[in-house]
Chain A
């Protein structure tokens, strides 16, 4: 499997778009850290960008890349390789190259300028966010054969998770203000990978505020590393589940 991954990775890191993405992230990170005297404030500004840009680029690039590689994937599937191996190799190749871009663009500056626990969590959650949106992109790509539809679907997914979802949650909160919504809130958060990544960072950077929750559920969730581990685990599910579903579809799919 990693026989192909290696070459997919090799191909993508030379891709101009991915190089541009790396440079963009690098420029953003550097400017935030050099304009802000307080590295924590830089980290917060960076968080906002990461939550928007990383999912967008990950999902769109991966979808386009998948459709552009269609003939190559066809050729590979005429080789003595299982569909699963081909598909996961593609996934790993794309995910690894975008993760590399993220690590260079955000990881290195963050570790250099910040370097505390919050920086580390920011990097980890950004990485997982990349992986999970690549995963969603692969799902979108196998659902439809049509490139335009696939990219459209990817955009809708991004739009939903990054922009609309939290607005909906706020709407729910306003409408059901009188009900106990603690557990519901945790579940709602778990249903969106960007929210999970955000909460993971908050658990380090805004723990003082989060501890102000009166509810026992929240207290238990935030007061220990337990919450962080749960968020990490669920975010990992957001990486694994879409790509597994996509693999199943791809295995039965007619190329």
Chain B
């Protein structure tokens, strides 16, 4: 579905991505993990075209994404922090998104809107919302257009346990529907529940990209958290 071919990116002297080549297929839930500053966010942004790699290409359905924007109609993106125009009401934000993305073929997926009871808050300005509610709005927007790819940046951060569960259920449901889902998170237990694969980045390079089953087998650990801890201790620290 998405292929990154030898992408590198540096900001000034800092090499954020080094020769990253990854293949992300439909029907997978890929956990993108790594220590802070390892290039996770940059990698995601590269896939979204928000960061242009210095070298290498990203292919979406075998088409290079460079200077394209139409392919993003198949991606739902949930940013880490949702900052929205403060004086806009939630309803207007949804209207705008619908204006921007809707075409005749798309079926709106309002599962999360209903599960999070957002309709009741529709007339509230976005500036008055709590961080958690903003997260709910971001999540609902990401799923709203039934995209075939979901990119979720720290989706459960800031959500209360109940909402967190709702979101995870939704992710699993979409996984069942055969979508490609990319998740970055520091909450290993969440990833343990959701992910099929782990893409581990460190210092801009792919340390490993394996299925969870494989990893558990390799390490003999049962929980993803322990798996990662074990692997990280083995990885030679490079800078």
Q: Do chains A and B touch in the complex (CB under 8 A)?
A: yes
Q: Are A80 and B87 in contact (CB under 8 A)?
A: no
Verify if A74 is at the interface (C-beta below 8 Å from B). yes
Name the A residues within 8 Å of B187 (CB-CB).
Answer: none
Q: State whether B82 touches A3 (Cβ < 8 A).
A: no
Residues of A contacting B105 with CB < 8 Å?
none
Q: Across the interface, do B96 and A3 meet the contact criterion of CB distance under 8 Å?
A: yes
Q: Is B70 an interface residue (CB 8 A)?
A: yes
Q: How far is the CA of A8 from the CA of B87 in the complex (A)?
A: 9
- Summed over the interface, the residue pairs from A and B with CB atoms below 8 Å come to a total of 83
Tell me, in angstroms, the Cα distance from A15 to B50 when the chains sit together: 28
* Given contact pairs A3-B99, A75-B79, A15 touches B87 in the complex (Cβ within 8 A): yes
Interface centre among A3, A7, A252 (most CB of B within 10 A): A7
Contact digits for A1-37, partner B, Cβ 8 Å, 1 yes 0 no: 0011011101110110000000000000000000000
Which of A4, A70, A254, A255 is packed against the most chain B CB atoms within 10 Å? A254
Per DSSP, are chain B's interface residues mostly helix, strand or loop, or mixed?
mixed
Q: A7-B96, A81-B100 are in contact. Are A74 and B50 (CB under 8 A)?
A: yes
- In Å, the complex CA distance between A178 and B31 comes to 74
Given contacts A11-B88, A71-B82, A79-B101, contact A4 B96 (CB under 8 A): yes
Query: Which residues of chain A are near B75, meaning CB under 8 Å?
Result: 78
Q: Is A219 an interface residue (CB 8 A)?
A: no
Selected contact of A80 from candidates B9, B45, B73, CB within 8 Å: B73
| B209 CB-CB contact with A under 8 Å | no
When C-beta atoms are compared, the residue in chain B nearest to A18 turns out to be: B87
Question: Does A72 contact B83, Cβ atoms closer than 8 Å?
Answer: yes
Main secondary structure of the interface of A (DSSP, over half): helix
Distance in angstroms between the alpha carbons of A78 and B50 in the assembled complex: 7
Most A-side CB within 10 Å, residue of B11, B77, B138: B77
Contact A78 B51 (CB under 8 A): no
With known contacts A3-B96, A3-B99, A255-B45, A14–B77 Cβ distance under 8 A: no
| A77 beta carbon closer than 8 Å to chain B | yes
Q: Is the CB of A254 within 8 A of B11?
A: yes
Partner of A72, one of B77, B85, B95: B85
Taking the closest CB of chain A, its distance from the CB of B84, in whole angstroms, is 6
Partner pick for B100 among A4, A10, A70, A72, CB 8 A cutoff:
A4
Contact for B51 among A12, A70, A79, A254, CB less than 8 A: A254
Residues of B near A70 (CB, < 8 A) are 83
A77 to chain B: which residues have CB within 8 Å?
Answer: 48-50
B13 within 8 A of A: no
Q: Give residues of chain B (74-95) contacting chain A, Cβ–Cβ below 8 Å.
A: 75, 77, 79, 81-88, 92-93, 95
In B18-43, the 8 Å CB interface with A consists of none
Residue numbers in B under 8 Å from A252 (CB-CB)? 52
Whether, in the assembled complex, B97 has its beta carbon less than 8 Å from a beta carbon of chain A, the answer is yes
Q: Contact between B51 and A74 (Cβ–Cβ < 8 Å)?
A: no
A215 to chain B, nearest CB (A): 50
Task: Determine the residue in chain B with the shortest Cβ distance to A2.
Answer: B99
A interface residues with partner B (beta carbon < 8 Å): 3-4, 6-8, 10-12, 14-15, 68-72, 74-83, 252, 254-255
Residues of B bordering A, CB below 8 Å: 9, 11, 45, 48-52, 69-73, 75, 77, 79, 81-88, 92-93, 95-97, 99-101, 125, 138, 151
